[in-house]
Amino acid sequence: MQTSDDAYENFILRHLQHYGLFTGRVSPSCSPRRDQSPGRGRWAITQDYQSDTHPSPPRSPDNITGDEEQDAEGPYPLLLTKPVRTRQLLLDFVRGRPIPRLREPRDLLAIPCLSSPFQGVRWPAECEVTVDDIQHIEWDPPEAEPFYQCTGHERTPMPVGDDRGRVVYAIDPATKMPYFTCSRVGGTRGPLKNPSCPNVPETSLSFESRFESGNLQKAVQVGVHDYELTLRHDLYTTKHTQWFYFRVENMKAGVPYRFTIVNLLKPSSLYSSGMRPLLYSKRAASEQGQGWTRTGTNIKYYRNNVEEDGRPLYSLTWTLEFPYGGDTCYLAHCYPYTFSQLQRYLYAVMARSSVAAYCKLRVLCRSIAGNPVYVLTITAPGDGSEESAVKPAVVLTARVHPGETNSSWIMQGFLDFILSDSPDACLLREMFVFKVIPMLNPDGVVVGNYRCSLAGRDLNRNYQTLLQESFPCVWYTRNMVKRLLSERDVILYCDLHGHSRKNNVFMYGCDSRHDTSVDLQERVFPLMMSKNAQDKFSFSSCKFQVQKSKEGTGRIVMWRLGIRNSYTMESTFGGSTLGNRTGTHFTTRDLKAIGFHLCDTLLDYCDPDESKAQQCLAELNTLVALKMRRKLGLGDIDFEGSLDIVSVSDFESSTGGSNSSESDGPPVHLMSSVKQSQIQPPKKQLRSRKERNRLHRKLTRRTISRSAPKSTDTMVTTQPQPQESQPCTMSKKKSQDILTMVKTQTRARAEIHQCAICFQTSAPNHDLGFGCSAQIRRGARMPHHSPQEMFLHTVEAYDISTALPKFYRGGHVACPGAQPRPISGSSVPVSVHKDKQGQALPIHTASLTLSPRYEACQVTHCRLRSE
């Protein structure tokens, strides 16, 4: 029997052997008759015929020697004496001779039949799943839905639990094992358990969440119309409860019901800023064509009196009146978008004959549970020219966090436009190759997780992983981008997300601080986006930091692979605070419009006419200069330094977002083995004293040559004047050098990476009070300075002359007989300090001298806190 390294090919070969289509030896009596039809003749099959191209005809069996018959790798004849009982073979005829090849595996187009009750969705084997196929109509309200206005009189009910309430709904946590083991279409086998508890009054509400993306764990009735709700954690974790989606029945119309979710984990939420939950009524949808609407009054988000594993819990409470009695309604955190809904959308898209010419749908990989991760390749058919072969690429992904459903609506808006017959869409397909992954985490979407996959980890912290089996979705995505970069340029990577604590739409990018040739270029695309979507996109909310805690995100990993424009687009769960949409919620139409604006901005960014890009760069330089002045407190000081010296991202606040530190790293069941297999890094070998002295002398010569003046005329020498201060006389070049040492952050914090006063000197006993590392080692108290004072105090020196008052002297004694040699310096402005009697002591300007007594040393860190 012929074998292959490919498991799929082996399966087909065994399949053919099972039906008697292979024979073990060639017999001359088996040669076909001339009057026999070509389809029933005898021909050989080899591995080469499994390619899409037609190979050359096989050799005639009559020419095969005896040794070749015994060779396991030789061709095997195939007898078609009976009908072929497989659909995996395709027969091509070359000169009347049949040439077999394998059909493309069905997994490449794994969209199951729409009549399937679960549409092939695979669940963890422990999950109970209802047979209902949940579908909602798409609808946009005729008017914008406003935020809830807080009155200050909202109630804050505290959890009472099962002791003082009646449990009306409870389901198994679906985590019998601490980690994922196996999956099954439709979840667990056997009849479903009744989630309603006994002795529940007939007037109580009926809850259900055992459907796709639902995650209600328990409901406790604590009043006649008050219900306390507990959400299920992300499977195989003990955290990430923010997304909710469940069904309610048996309600009465016109009765105010109160719902309180008691186990939320985030300390802040958009519900504190006026965001309202979503309500969907099946009766309103069937009778009035009305879909999801914002609803609720007396909305309050607050910390309750319960802790879980040492973490405080938060509650969300709201009241609402259902529009109809005896209705079936759904409540959700954001507009749901399930895996089955994505499959229905892709099925409808590929059913259009015109789309097949420029859109190919394939399966990138299979998730842990076996659900397909779809990838679409969208581009105009090539004409064989070199330009079409090297078209730049654009990569878009969404739903790596399953609870951020707004990203799927943005993705659908993007696909609606790029697959349309619009002239702009045709132009984009001519210009680019689009690689689109609409749902990176289908397992998490299916089970109703907010942030994690079935590995119990945040996929957006594991793009650097080597665990292909545990993180297949991001592992294959990263490899796909690597292969794409080897073939063509990738002009844009954008990962679509949702944000639970900020309004509007904005982007997180990566600051190319070490590449001055592309300075501020990463900010051009977001700025263009804000101009195209002025009432939805906020450029002021965009951040461009590369934080260590976010090293495993798709944005930073793709940026390090070489994609300059690598972004995370965050869309709010709430609404807009911009333009005429101020104080209103986003609808699905607004979210899909963001996808259209993304295409529009891509055209502007790649326009051969660079006037728009140049205008944006000029505007960015002005904005950044103003921000730097404001943060540094420069005021009216002349500052004309280039922006490549100080990274603008250091002046920006943290990108924030959800804390996934406990969901980072390998899966739970691999944690112990990984810890045991970690290899301790080798200890750093200490240098000998001779090597250290040689290194110090070399460093001293280098710093002296860099800092010594070219002529004595350039040195500033000023005698101390006790009652007056001298103005700052720093040159532009000096100010630029100083800016490299000034790192300010929000909250009025500043960091200086090299201490200015004791820079490159051995001054362990100085008492200048600038908070240098020498004082930190001695435990001295660090004074407070404003950012402007710090900027003006930052100077380079090797020693302080004895002309300074003792309070500000370095406390050094020059070597006897050594002649102090002046170096370049700057006058120091007044900085008010107080003595023990509370009187102000000014810092006076003085010349700076070099004492050869001290050897060079480096001061690594100095931190100052402003007042």
Task: State pLDDT tens for residues 544-567.
Answer: 989 888 999 999 999 999 999 999
Instruction: Tell me the backbone φ, ψ of residue 688, rounded to 5 degrees.
Output: -75, 170
Going by their DSSP bridges, the two strands 848-850 and 799-800 should be labelled as: antiparallel
pLDDT of residue 828: 39
| pLDDT range class, residue 38, cuts 50, 70, 90 | very low
Instruction: Tell me the backbone φ, ψ of residue 712, rounded to 5 degrees.
Output: -70, -10
pLDDT of residue 19: 57
Name the residue with higher pLDDT: 163 or 248.
Answer: 248
CA-nearest of 524, 522, 371 to 453 is: 371
Task: Report the range of poorest mean pLDDT among 250-254, 692-696, 801-805.
Answer: 801-805
434 contacts 411 by C-beta, under 8 angstroms: no
Among 27-41, 232-246, 725-739, which range has the highest average pLDDT? 232-246
| pLDDT range class, residue 104, cuts 50, 70, 90 | low
pLDDT of residue 14: 72
Task: Report the range of poorest mean pLDDT among 350-359, 393-402, 638-647.
Answer: 638-647
Three-state SS letters, 451-465: CCCCCCCCHHHCCCC
Q: What is the pTM of this model?
A: 0.69
92 contacts 102 by C-beta, under 8 angstroms: no
CA-nearest of 265, 331, 260 to 294 is: 331
pLDDT of residue 748: 35
Q: How far apart are CA 60 and CA 75, in angstroms?
A: 10
Going by their DSSP bridges, the two strands 848-850 and 821-822 should be labelled as: antiparallel
| pLDDT range class, residue 163, cuts 50, 70, 90 | confident
Query: Which of the residues are catalytic?
Result: 570
23 contacts 77 by C-beta, under 8 angstroms: yes
Structure tokens at 286: 């069937």
218 contacts 278 by C-beta, under 8 angstroms: no
Helices 588-605 and 423-431: crossing angle, nearest 10°? 50
pLDDT of residue 71: 38
Task: Report the range of poorest mean pLDDT among 515-524, 693-702, 761-770.
Answer: 761-770
Tell me the pLDDT tens digit for each residue of 81-99: 556 566 677 777 777 777 7
864 contacts 833 by C-beta, under 8 angstroms: no
613, 618, 621, 627 alpha-carbon torsion, rounded to 10°: -100
Instruction: Tell me the backbone φ, ψ of residue 391, rounded to 5 degrees.
Output: -60, 140
Residue ranges in 157-265 assigned as alpha helix (H): 161-164
Three-state SS letters, 546-580: CCHHHCCCHHHHHHHHCCCCEEEEEEECCEECCHH
Tell me the pLDDT tens digit for each residue of 718-739: 343 444 434 444 444 444 454 4
Is 453's pLDDT higher than 80? yes
DSSP characters over 491-543: EEEEEEEEESS--SEEEE----TT-GGGTTGGGHHHHHHHHHSTTTB-STT-B
Is 774's pLDDT higher than 80? no
pLDDT of residue 806: 34
Span 144-155, average pLDDT: 94
Going by their DSSP bridges, the two strands 566-572 and 490-499 should be labelled as: parallel
